[in-house]
Structures are given as C-alpha cells and as structure tokens.
C-alpha cells in the first residue's frame, strides 16, 4: 500500500481536475470490481455485487475523495508575478514559501508582498507565485490555470509525510479494502468522489444515483496530539477514528455502534472522533434523497491542508481491517 500511496499523492488532482487520479485508480480497481462506471461529475464508481442467494443485501456506499486543495491563477502583473485564489481550504500559514506545480507543468514559489510583522496572519490575497518570468508576456501561466503543492513523499519510520494525504490516504484504504474482500453479503459501491474540498459535490450526486441504505465516508481527521493543538483525542498510531460528530454532521448512532462493536470484536484499535473543525463526504451522503444512515471512518492526519501532511502507516492498515470486518458481514443495524 505504501507504493500505491506514494503514486497517488504525487499525482496532480485539485478539485475539478481529478482525471489523472481517476485514471490511476481505475487501473487498480478494474480487475477487482464487478461493474465500473464514471458519472457526469467524474466520480468513479466500482461495484462489488453480493453473493448469489444473499438474503436482503444492504446497498452500502463507501466514499473517498480524489481531489486535493490547490490554487487558481487570478491575475498576472506586468512583471510576470501570478496572483491567485484558493481551491478548497488553502491556508496562508502553510502556503507562503511553498512550491507549486501547475497543470501544464510550470513550477513556482509562493512569495508575499511585505511582512510588517513576522507573526502577522498571512492572507493569500497578499501572496503571489514567482514562476521565473520577467514580464507578463513571457509568463507561462494564464488566468484560470490551476496548481497544487509540490512536495516529495517521505517515510519516517511508521510515519509518512506527503501532500494530498487528504484524501489519497482514504483512496488507498478503499482500494486495499476492495482488494481484500473476496465475497460479501452486501451490495457494495466503492465511490472515488470529486470536488469534496469545495463542498462534497461529487458525493452528493453519487449518493443520489446509488440511493444507498448505508453510507461510509473514508477521509482524514485532524489530530489533537501536537503542542498547543485543539483539545481533541485523535492521535497518530492509535487506530482509525470512528466519527461521532464533526462541524457539519452527527453520525447516525446506529452506525457508530455497529463500527465500535465490530472493531472491538475483531480486536482492531480504534478512536472515537469528535471533530471541532471540518467535515467529510458523509454529510452529503446523509442528506441524499430521503436520507441515509451514514457515518465515517477517519484516518488521523497531522498538518492537514499543508504540503506535508502526516499519517501513521499502522492507522491505514487498521482502517483496511476495520472496513473488511464491517463489509464482509451482515449489515443489519
């Protein structure tokens, strides 16, 4: 899974431009799924059918988003410096000094107009991208061009640092889960969604089309295990997090109970997640059509929405184990 994760994180794919990531995922899941399709918003949907003769199989949708945060060029000045806006939650504190790569291959460095005080908040509307141009005429970037962080995949023992682990970590976990399920009593839909970072648009439309009985988002969650962090219990290396609540949804208590009981029975380490900021595809799945019993399995990640997000590899492996344990059994909640 490490090599898969490395390839996924190093692939370009901000919201709305997930094509290369989808092509990569398609190669992985094509031999594993019974049906595959791509819908109008670009979601990749891989179906694993239930065993013949399965009694009242539950239609279960699992979602991990393909897109990553990025920036979009909004103005080129006379000296060739590129002003930009955000795609998703691109934070100023992580963006200054970062290297970025545009879809056309052009690379740049993010600079700032002028720092009056070194500890000032850093709004991105005071930033620019230096692509090495000397004038507007020789700038290789046009208004509307999109870019993502440029950062190498790095292993540090059991810890991994890379860009776009939000949510390529979840994508890798879903692929490995599909690989590990040989048969199931349920009707499974593995959905690799688009545009989560700008409002979970892909998950909402996919859930409307699938009309699932149950929905599980597989995404990341910020941790509370770094100095002076928010008071949250999620930590690296302590297992997948079972979502109870985040800033925009309450997970269905029946889903929470099912996940916790399954983890405890299988002796899989897990954490209880109450997230104070952010959400996931689960919120859109939950309110699709007439409503869906929904929850989430979250992978703890440090430095979310930076160029160097960090996960613990053991959490990824245990997330796969938990999902296989959930999906391989009767899903009557």
Q: Provide φ and ψ at 273, rounded to 5°.
A: -110, 120
H-only helix segments in the chain: 2-9, 19-29, 92-95, 165-180, 201-210, 253-265, 282-286, 313-327
- C-beta neighbour count of 257 within 10 angstroms: 13
Question: 181: which DSSP letter?
Answer: -
User: If you count them, how many residues does the chain have?
Assistant: 333
**Are residues 318 and 269 in contact, defined by beta-carbon separation less than 8 angstroms?**
yes
Measured CA to CA, the distance from residue 247 to residue 78 in angstroms comes to 42
Active site residue ranges: 196
Question: 81: which DSSP letter?
Answer: P
Q: From start to end of the chain, where are the E strands?
A: 35-38, 44-48, 59-65, 70-76, 82-87, 99-102, 107-112, 127-130, 146-149, 154-156, 159-162, 187-193, 214-222, 241-245, 271-274, 293-301, 309-312
The distance in angstroms from the start CA to the end CA of the chain is 31
Contacts for 267 with CB less than 8 Å, ≥ 6 apart: none
Q: Are strands 187-193 and 59-65 parallel, antiparallel or unpaired?
A: parallel
- C-beta neighbour count of 291 within 10 angstroms: 10
**Six-digit token string for 129:** 């991208």
């Amino acid at each position: 899974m490490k090599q898969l994760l490395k390839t996924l994180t190093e692939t370009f794919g901000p919201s709305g431009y997930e094509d290369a990531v989808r092509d990569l995922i398609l190669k992985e899941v094509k031999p594993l799924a019974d049906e595959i399709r791509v819908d109008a918003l670009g979601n990749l949907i891989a179906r694993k059918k239930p065993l013949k003769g399965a009694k009242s199989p539950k239609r279960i949708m699992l979602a991990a988003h393909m897109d990553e945060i990025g920036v979009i060029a909004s103005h080129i000045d006379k000296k060739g410096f590129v002003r930009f806006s955000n795609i998703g939650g691109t934070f100023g504190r992580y963006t200054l000094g970062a290297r970025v790569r545009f879809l056309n291959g052009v690379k740049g460095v993010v600079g700032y107009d002028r720092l009056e005080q070194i500890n000032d908040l850093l709004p991105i509307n005071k930033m620019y991208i230096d692509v090495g141009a000397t004038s507007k005429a020789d700038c290789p970037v046009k208004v509307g061009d999109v870019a993502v962080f440029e950062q190498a995949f790095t292993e540090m023992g059991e810890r991994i640092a890379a860009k776009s682990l939000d949510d390529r970590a979840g994508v890798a976990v879903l692929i490995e889960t599909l690989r590990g399920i040989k048969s199931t009593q349920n009707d499974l839909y593995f959905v690799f969604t688009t545009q989560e970072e700008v409002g979970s648009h892909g998950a909402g439309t996919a859930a409307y089309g699938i009309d699932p009985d149950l929905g599980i988002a597989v995404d990341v969650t910020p941790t509370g295990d770094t100095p002076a962090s928010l008071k949250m219990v999620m930590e690296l290396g302590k297992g997948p997090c079972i979502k109870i609540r985040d800033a925009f949804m309450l997970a269905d208590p029946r889903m929470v109970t099912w996940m916790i009981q399954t983890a405890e029975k299988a002796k899989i380490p897990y954490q209880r997640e109450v997230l104070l900021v952010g959400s996931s595809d689960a919120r859109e799945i939950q309110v699709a059509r007439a409503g869906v019993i929904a929850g989430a399995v979250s992978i703890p990640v440090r430095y979310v929405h930076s160029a160097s997000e960090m996960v613990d590899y053991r959490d990824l492996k245990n997330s796969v184990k938990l999902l296989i344990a959930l999906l391989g059994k009767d899903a009557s909640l």
